[in-house]
Amino acid sequence: MAITPEQQKTAKTWQAMVDSNKALLLRKTGHDVGYWAEHARSAGLKALIHR
């Protein structure tokens, strides 16, 4: 299945938002997403998305 230009544009927009939020988290807290994910897991938080 081919990706349409609109799908590609949407994917880039979402990726830009994710990258921006990751950078903001790192700037504001000094820790990356991996740190916070591990911190939440060790506190007993489980993933909200079930695979």
Give, for 36, the enclosing helix (H) or strand (E).
Answer: helix 33-42
Quote the pLDDT of residue 22: 96
Give the model's confidence band at 50: pLDDT under 50 very low, under 70 low, under 90 confident, else very high.
low
pTM exceeding 0.85 = no
pLDDT, tens only, 7-47: 878 878 889 999 999 999 999 999 999 999 999 989 888 77
Quote the pLDDT of residue 2: 82
Give the model's confidence band at 49: pLDDT under 50 very low, under 70 low, under 90 confident, else very high.
low
| Burial environment of residue 25 by CB neighbours within 10 A (0 to 12, 13 to 18, 19 or more) | middle
